[in-house]
Amino acid sequence: MGMMAHLHELILNRAHYERVVDKEIPNAKRFLWIATADIKDVHVEGPGGRFVPFLSVLDDLVKDGVEVRLIHAKEPGPAFRKDFDRYPALLESDHFERILCVRMHMKVIIIDGRLAYVGSANLTGAGIGAKSPKRRNFEAGILTDDGETIDQLMDELDELYLGRHCGDCGRRDYCPDPIV
């Protein structure tokens, strides 16, 4: 019996947007977990080719019953906060959860437990958004469907999300909103 080959795709630069943000994230059916250090007001190509906040994609997923979990290290800037308030489903739905952990430095996206991105790109326009090639960061990551890798990433993010590191966190004094 032959072994099934797993997806192990190198994602470079603009492919973060094209492959992960534009192609995979909107196809989440059950859950989407995003961990990032920095978070900004990312814009993506929407209906009719006009650019819309990435938050609108998350809003649509939440309205479709997808559980969205967002973990980030920094408070988002004013543009993000202004856009966030335009999407009431993100404020009101039990399907959207956002936590802040000042120690978060991972850049991980998990889609339905079937696909994971791990790499350097933050949830910013220059990192993962629809910026022009002359204005975006140089980024690298891996997209995989390897179940063991995904399970380990999910376990780690669950530990963080549940606050299992909060009790003995050495950065507690800097945390604006401790989980526990």
pTM of the entire predicted model: 0.93
* Domain 8-163, CATH: 3.30.870.10
Alpha carbons 60 and 39: distance in angstroms, whole number: 19
Reading the chain (180 residues) residue by residue, the pLDDT tens digits are 555 668 899 999 999 999 999 999 999 999 999 999 999 999 999 888 899 999 999 999 999 999 999 999 988 988 898 999 999 999 999 999 999 999 999 999 999 999 999 999 999 999 998 888 888 999 999 999 999 999 999 999 999 988 888 778 877 777 777 777
The encoded tokens of residue 164 equal 């299992």
Domain ranges of the chain: 8-163
H helix or E strand, kind and range, residue 69: strand 67-72
H, E, C per residue of 101-169: CCCCCCCEEEECCCEEEEECCCECHHHHCCCCCCCCCCCEEEEECCHHHHHHHHHHHHHHHCCCCCCCC
Q: Which residues are CB-neighbours of 16 under 8 A, at least 6 positions away?
A: 117, 119, 121, 127, 128, 139, 141
> Which residue type occupies 64?
D
SS3 state at 52: strand
Pick the closest to residue 36 from 129, 113, 115, 114 (CA basis): 129
Count of C-beta atoms within a 10 Å radius of residue 138: 9
**71, 77 Cβ separation under 8 angstroms:** no
